[in-house]
Amino acid sequence: MSDVGTFSTLRRGLALSPELRTGLAGTIALAVLQMAGRVSVPVAVQQCIDHGINGPSGPDTRIVLGYVSITLMVLAVSTFCGFLMTRRLFTVSETALGGLRSRTFRHIHDLSMLHQQSERRGSMVSRVTGDVDQISVFLQTGGVQLMLASGQLIVSSVVMFAYSWQLTLVVLLAFGPAVAVIRLFQRRLASVYRTVRERNGVLLGAVAESVVGATVIRSFGVAGRTGRRIDTAVDDLRTAQQRAMRTSVTSFSSGEIGAGLALSGVVVVGTLLGVAGDLTVGRLTAFLFLVTLFIQPVQIATEQLNEAQNAVAGWRRILDVLDVDPDVADPDDEGVELPAGPLSVRFRDVSFRYPGGPIVLSGVDLELGARRKYAVVGETGSGKTTFAKLLTRLMDPAEGTVLLSGVPLTAVRFSSLRSRVVMVPQDGFLFDATIAENIRFAEPALTDGQLREAFTELGLGDWLAGLPAGLDTPVGERGEALSVGERQLVALVRAYVADPDLLVLDEATSAVDPATEVRLQHALELVTRGRTTVAIAHRLSTAQAADEVIVVDAGRVVQRGPHSVLLTEEDSIYAKLYASWLEQTR
Amino acid sequence: MSSGTGNDVLGRGLRVLGKAIRAEPRLFVVSSLGSSLFGLLIVANSYVVGFLIGHVVAPAFAAHRVSAAGLALAVAALLGISGLRVASIFARRLGAGFMQFRLQARYRRAVTRRYLSLPPEWHQRHATGSLLSNAGSDVEAAFAPIAPLPFAVGTIVMLLGAMITLFATDWVLAMVGVALFPALFALNFFYSRRMSPRQIHAQRMRAKVATVAHESFDGALVVKTMGREADESRRFAVFVTELRDALVAVGRLRGVFDPLMESLPSVGTLAVLVLGTWRLQTGAVTVSEVISVAFLFTVLAFPVRAIGWVIGELPRSVAGWDRVQAVLSAEGDLRYGEGELPGDGPAELRFDRVGYRYAGGPPVLSEVSFTVPAGRTVALVGATGSGKSTIAALALRLVDPDSGNVSLDRVKLPDLSAAALAGASALVPQIPFVFDDTVRGNVSLDRPGIGDDDVWAALRLAQAERFTGGLPERLDTAVGERGTSLSGGQRQRLTLARALAGRPRLLVLDDATSAVDPRVEAAILGALRAAGTSLLVVAYRRASIALADEVVYLHQGRVVATGTHQELMATQEGYRELVTAYEKADK
């Protein structure tokens, strides 16, 4: 977040959206024409005063009327150009930013699971919403104004120069110090507004605590504590806002003082020049008008600085995301398809560690046969979930290779991998849609009839029929209208219709109510039939039902074999695990 | 949410402004005075410029001779105006900004105070996201028109001043103002009216895009494992395009307004030139007066926009204000008594014919009676929806029953003070909530009398000592927002330790060890029993149930039977089926 990067961030940010350049020349041309209208008025004033009012034959309405009509026409044209310019600008910028939203959205989905999980969800959302909005506000208000302002600055300078180079020099000299002061303030402004944004974030976090943790805060009687934290955050934000306002006003006033100096300087020097016969009254008057045209852009520039800083910050955050390479990438065209038929699994000396973290899995070397059922068991933190993530290529191993039917996973095209290997995650995430839409997430082409059939095949026909609107029952936000167990049922059907050759189940740890549990076990049995299945098991029943149990402890595979055989290995990890399970169920 | 008719919004918006002014009268007066001074200085400046040209510059040009005194006067006048203007800008902008910030701060405090005092039941009825924006963007929106308000007030003063001087100068030239000012107002007014529905639509689309993105990222793992990235992107793109169209519609309207707003005053200047020349011919005005008036129109345009800014913000302001008011006026606070709970050591919890229903819904509990004797463990067993979690909430008075009584050591809960209640009992909820704080802060919650030793003891009891000891900075380790750096089981144990640290006389566990390994769970429950506190446990796992001295078997909100696990297994068919369902599933 250094200021040094501001310019390069801006440049890179603009480069993200090449669409912004669409018809840019035309837009600029229109802006220049609009500017011509602004400058035409002081020129008209000068001409009218010198030729119409102070003319040789006294005030002459006809001459004035002539100039005024021409200027009116110029104004009409420039107003229309202004309309066209704004319209183009909005269309081009919103189209470009819409593209940026979509691309960033896709990029976030392409990131590896590890990267996705390292970001807070809310901040990922703001990458495609608030951050882009800030850029949009800047491009359309600040950006246009800055563009028009710089155009105005140039045009008015040129016209001023044409009227009198001496007076132009006076204006520039008067503004020199003001510009220097504004530049000086720019750095401070950038830092105070950054503080405002940071404290705003802190405040939102503190408020979230009072909402999300309402029950806990109440039951422990610690409302005072949370209240104090919020108050501090509120006050911190307010002080930062006030400091930012003071800095911004001070910077703005230096432009105002510059304007006063310029105006008085022009009057004094202009009078002296006029006395020497180098200047007419009309020209001096026009010049005074022009000075105001010259002042405005400078002031607008300082006003827009905050927007510009916000936009740069927005771009920076988007770039931060786009700069992260999807490290678990789709080999795409260079990849291969998985061979048809049932899939076998081979872990060849696989190790894994989180970046900068301790080793989670080490030296795992095993082979899993096609169409067999495996249960992976172990304590929390033993590495069994990591095993599942490596198997589905949500992560890549630090060392070693994972192969499916002899093909290294990293060489498999995602389109092939994701259709053949399906994982049912622990929480069985559902979208805020109907049951049918949630199942179709896996296979969009399925008809209602086929969906119903799938439920029936898994023995869930009666459950579906018992729902208020059957397939069209909405499941609510994150599926919360259903119980945890029912959510798992739907997730299971979703996996079933995907018809994978390798099914990886991350069994939910949380207890499910018994009636649903019975359904779940039954459906599970049917879904896994005829497929290679690897279940990260938390339940005895799952382990018992598996052809083989793989016991993981402290990142290593310590035992493997059928349940009945493993039980006979006394004092083993599995025997201990089994004992505690027994205690649970008996 | 509904924007109603335009006039309605205008009226209600002005009332919001009125309330804001009454809340911060001093700052409003300061900034409006500053702004009015600013406006009058704009008028004065035009006349000074005109005067200087007519009475200092032109005569000097004509005479080819400079009057030093005249020039000195010019410089003094221009710099004087400039100085005053700087002062007026400081007063206007700092006044307006501070007023806005103070109002935001005040209402943010008020809203969050309501959050903290409204009961959990109220929280359940409102989506987290909307409560967050009530305190964030809604408060901001409600007071958004405050920033340009003093500017607008000053602009009105400026226009009045301008009209007066125009009439004082020449009635014909004044007619330009008479025609122009209402035109500017009308243009602003129509713009704001036409703009607000477009803005609201765009805002709605923004919210939609955010919702879709939030949900999609929430389900990122499913999207990834099913290989649906491209489809999700297409789904998202549909809303992005709609948002784009909405924003382009906003832009089109602005494209009409902005250039017109800029050109109208220029037309005024040109009209003044024509009419001024005519009036010069008749001798009604002087050259300097014509120049003054022409100059005046060129500088008026910008401030007039401030009025448009205020009107434009009103619909958003009213919508924000309404949502903020909904929180502030929400009712249903629990009133606490003054009573203390006598004695110490384990307390007895008693439910006496308790009934409860959610507003408008069917009864969740009816005639529920049971007792947790001091120092004993009671398990609540029942199928999903039998009312177990509601009982847990009632036991800590997170809600009040519709009928019947809940008492602790024979004191009815509503008679207890908030501190006595919080000190005596603790709940460990199903879903653990972790504060964005250190491990120590999360366990002690800065409650008096809980030192590091107590924190460690609680962590030990909750089987969380080992993993806490392994954290880089142990008790000082920050666990991050919502405890993201911890696993589900670790979060549960941390919240359990938090409950234990206060040495509660009654502990309620609402399926609080579900994400913990069975072995660890058994260790926790054993330790809790040994600690000798009164314990009410909502449980599914049989081990937890078997540990209880007594089991309360619930079915559809009623107590079916009470007894030991063995007794219920022997006598209650439904109970037996429920508890043995796991074994059945194994077959």
CATH of the domain at A139: 1.20.1560.10
Total-model pTM: 0.74
The answer to whether B398 contacts chain A (CB < 8 Å) is yes
Domain encompassing residue A91: 7-162
Q: pLDDT tens for residues B265-283?
A: 889 888 988 898 888 888 8
For residue B522, what are the contacts with CB-CB under 8 A and spacing of at least 6?
A580, A583, A584, B543
Decide if B65 and A518 are in contact by the 8 Å CB cutoff. Answer: no
Q: How far is B583 from chain A (nearest CA, A)?
A: 7
Complex ipTM? 0.80
How many Cβ atoms sit within 10 Å of the Cβ of residue B12? 18
Least confident residue range of A119-133, B86-100, B275-289, B488-502: A119-133
Least confident residue range of A40-49, A51-60, A150-159, B576-585: B576-585
In-domain check, residue A361: no
User: Which of A141, A162, A183 finishes a domain?
Assistant: A162
Q: Which of A129-133, A571-575, B128-132 has the highest mean pLDDT?
A: A571-575
Decide if B71 and A268 are in contact by the 8 Å CB cutoff. Answer: yes
Question: What's the mean pLDDT in B24-51?
Answer: 89
C-alpha to C-alpha distance for B128 and B323, rounded to whole angstroms: 14
CATH of the domain at A537: 3.40.50.300
The answer to whether B4 contacts chain A (CB < 8 Å) is no
Question: Quick one: how far is CA B128 from the chain centroid?
Answer: 10
- Look at residue B482 in the predicted model and tell me its pLDDT: 55
Q: Which residue in A222, A242, A429 is closest to B218 by CB distance?
A: A429
- Look at residue A505 in the predicted model and tell me its pLDDT: 85
- Pick the closest to residue B162 from B265, B84, B259, B93 (CA basis): B265
The answer to whether B450 contacts chain A (CB < 8 Å) is no
In-domain check, residue A227: no
If you count residue pairs, one on A and one on B, with CB atoms under 8 Å apart, how many are there?
A: 445
In-domain check, residue A72: yes
C-alpha to C-alpha distance for B295 and A64, rounded to whole angstroms: 16
Domains: count for chain A? 2
Decide if A238 and B102 are in contact by the 8 Å CB cutoff. Answer: yes
Decide if B248 and A124 are in contact by the 8 Å CB cutoff. Answer: no
Q: How far is B456 from chain A (nearest CA, A)?
A: 19
pLDDT exceeds 60 at position B131: yes
Q: How far is B2 from chain A (nearest CA, A)?
A: 24
Chain B hits for A279, CB-CB cut-off 8 Å, are: 61
Q: pLDDT tens for residues B507-564?
A: 888 877 766 666 677 777 777 777 778 888 887 777 677 778 888 888 888 888 888 8
Q: What SS3 state is found at A552?
A: strand
- Look at residue B34 in the predicted model and tell me its pLDDT: 93
* Average pLDDT for chain B: 82
pLDDT band at B94 (very low <50, low <70, confident <90, very high): very high
Q: Which residue of B has its CA nearest to A500?
A: B226
C-alpha to C-alpha distance for A496 and A490, rounded to whole angstroms: 10
- Look at residue A353 in the predicted model and tell me its pLDDT: 84
Chain A hits for B112, CB-CB cut-off 8 Å, are: 207, 210, 227, 230
Chain B hits for A297, CB-CB cut-off 8 Å, are: none
The answer to whether B72 contacts chain A (CB < 8 Å) is no
Interface of B with A in 226-285 (CB under 8 A): 226-233, 236-237, 240-241, 243-244, 247-248, 250-252, 254-256, 258-260, 262-263, 266-267, 269-271, 273-274, 276-278, 280-281
Chain B hits for A546, CB-CB cut-off 8 Å, are: none
Least confident residue range of A323-337, A342-356, A482-496, B291-305: B291-305
Chain B hits for A133, CB-CB cut-off 8 Å, are: 206
Q: Which residue of B has its CA nearest to A423?
A: B225
In-domain check, residue A180: no
Q: Which of A201-215, A533-547, B81-95 has the highest mean pLDDT?
A: B81-95
Chain A hits for B484, CB-CB cut-off 8 Å, are: 120
Question: What's the mean pLDDT in A285-296?
Answer: 77
User: Which of A143, A162, A181 finishes a domain?
Assistant: A162
pLDDT exceeds 70 at position B484: no
Longest distance between any two alpha carbons in chain A, whole Å: 123
Question: What's the mean pLDDT in A88-98?
Answer: 88
Decide if B426 and A75 are in contact by the 8 Å CB cutoff. Answer: no
pLDDT band at A1 (very low <50, low <70, confident <90, very high): very low
Q: Please indicate whether residue A574 or residue A146 has the higher confidence score (pLDDT).
A: A574
Q: Please indicate whether residue A175 or residue A76 has the higher confidence score (pLDDT).
A: A76
- Look at residue B66 in the predicted model and tell me its pLDDT: 79
Decide if B277 and A59 are in contact by the 8 Å CB cutoff. Answer: yes
Helices then strands, each counted (H, E), chain B? 22, 10
pLDDT exceeds 80 at position A307: no
Least confident residue range of A89-93, A140-144, B172-176, B404-408: A140-144
Decide if A105 and B423 are in contact by the 8 Å CB cutoff. Answer: no
Q: How far is A581 from chain B (nearest CA, A)?
A: 7
The answer to whether A136 contacts chain B (CB < 8 Å) is yes
In-domain check, residue A502: yes
Q: Which residue in A60, A124, A513 is closest to B383 by CB distance?
A: A513
pLDDT band at B78 (very low <50, low <70, confident <90, very high): confident
What Rg, from alpha-carbon coordinates, does chain B have? 36
For residue B144, what are the contacts with CB-CB under 8 A and spacing of at least 6?
B313, B316, B317, B320
pLDDT exceeds 50 at position B5: no
- Look at residue A3 in the predicted model and tell me its pLDDT: 47
Question: What's the mean pLDDT in B413-422?
Answer: 83
Interface of A with B in 143-172 (CB under 8 A): none
In-domain check, residue A565: yes
In-domain check, residue A568: yes
pLDDT exceeds 70 at position A121: no
In-domain check, residue A441: yes
Domains of chain B: 6-328 (1.20.1560.10), 349-586 (3.40.50.300)
Question: What's the mean pLDDT in B445-472?
Answer: 81
- Look at residue A69 in the predicted model and tell me its pLDDT: 92
- Look at residue A294 in the predicted model and tell me its pLDDT: 76
With a pLDDT cut of 70, the percent of chain A lying above it is 92
Q: A491: which 2 tokens?
A: 């997730």
pLDDT exceeds 80 at position B10: no
User: Which of A99, A133, A162 finishes a domain?
Assistant: A162
The answer to whether B514 contacts chain A (CB < 8 Å) is yes
**Contact status, residue B508 vs residue B408, Cβ threshold 8 Å:** no
Interface of A with B in 228-247 (CB under 8 A): 230-231, 234-235, 237-238, 241-242, 245-246
Chain B hits for A89, CB-CB cut-off 8 Å, are: 251
Decide if B113 and A394 are in contact by the 8 Å CB cutoff. Answer: no
Give CA torsion, residues B243, B248, B249, B253, to 10 deg. Answer: 150
Question: What's the mean pLDDT in A493-520?
Answer: 78
Angle between helices B287-328 and B25-51 (to 10 degrees): 170
Q: Which of B11-25, B416-430, B447-461 has the highest mean pLDDT?
A: B11-25
DSSP, residue by residue, B438-463: BHHHHHHTT-TT--HHHHHHHHHHTT
